[in-house]
Structure 1
Amino acid sequence: MAVDPTGADLARLLKEDPGGPVVMLNLLRFAPGGRPSYEEYSRQASRFLQRYGAELLYAGDGDTPLVAEDGQAWDAVLVVRYPSREAFSRMVADPEYQKITELRTRALSEAVLQPTTPWAPRRDT
């Protein structure tokens, strides 16, 4: 299972950019014994979030799903707001950031990184 974005993934992210901030939903499944490695990655990644203007909005453990198919439970959920898709792409391409990604890769057996786009304000007529 893939846990890290590829160059093609990042190119598509930028190509589909509607502009403005992006909130990235992170669904994480830890490899056996992977949580300590992810915790270290998180500690080190916080400086990169700050450097690129990102903000961790939420981080928490997954509980038993209320509605989900088998295998759709996640160990952890993070929600991170980036000022733009370009800022996210620059962060993950940063050579200093690349030095810590092995901590994340080693920690996870599966991940979903889902960019989200805010809904337009609804106009009732």
Structure 2
Amino acid sequence: MAIDPRGADLERYLQEDPGGPVIMLNLLRFAEGGRESYDQYAKALSETFLPRYGGEVLYAGDGGTPLVAEQGQNWDAFLLVRYSSREAFSRMVADRGYQKVTHLRTQALTEAVLQPTTPW
């Protein structure tokens, strides 16, 4: 399962840029004991990298029992993170300091969805 965006993913993401801010939907499924590792990653993200790149967590919460979903589509946690632009997000994930902490996210998760949204 893909956990982290790769070069081709980021290239496509930037090519599809409609301009303006982007809200990223994060769906997270934790590995056994992964919540602690993710919490360390989230602390670094919120204290250093989001402020540096114009990002802001709009919502973070734990998932409950789905009301409507196919088997296996339940998620442990959800985040909505606003970035000033798609380019700002791409610069953040390319940041050497960010790359030093991203392993915490990778080892914390068994599955993830990271999806940009476009307002209606």
2:49 paired residue number: 48
Separation in structure 2 between the aligned mates of residue 72 and residue 93 of structure 1, nearest angstrom: 30
Q: For residue 73 of structure 2, give the secondary structure of its aligned residue in structure 1.
A: coil
Report deviation, 1:95.
Answer: 0.5
Separation in structure 2 between the aligned mates of residue 42 and residue 76 of structure 1, nearest angstrom: 12
Cα RMSD after superposing both structures: 0.4
Q: For residue 43 of structure 2, give the secondary structure of its aligned residue in structure 1.
A: helix
In terms of Rg, which structure is larger?
1
4+ long deviations beyond 4 Å: none
Report deviation, 1:28.
Answer: 0.1
Tell me which amino acid in the other structure corresponds to 2:3. Answer: V
Separation in structure 1 between the aligned mates of residue 89 and residue 108 of structure 2, nearest angstrom: 21
Report deviation, 1:17.
Answer: 0.3
- What residue ranges of structure 2 are gaps of 5+ in the alignment? none
2:65 paired residue number: 64
2:3 paired residue number: 3
Tell me which amino acid in the other structure corresponds to 1:37. Answer: S
Tell me which amino acid in the other structure corresponds to 2:8. Answer: A
- What residue ranges of structure 1 are gaps of 5+ in the alignment? 120-125
Separation in structure 2 between the aligned mates of residue 36 and residue 99 of structure 1, nearest angstrom: 17
Separation in structure 2 between the aligned mates of residue 2 and residue 31 of structure 1, nearest angstrom: 14
1:93 paired residue number: 94
Return the TM-score normalized by structure 1: 0.94
Tell me which amino acid in the other structure corresponds to 2:110. Answer: S
Tell me which amino acid in the other structure corresponds to 2:21. Answer: P
Report deviation, 1:3.
Answer: 0.4
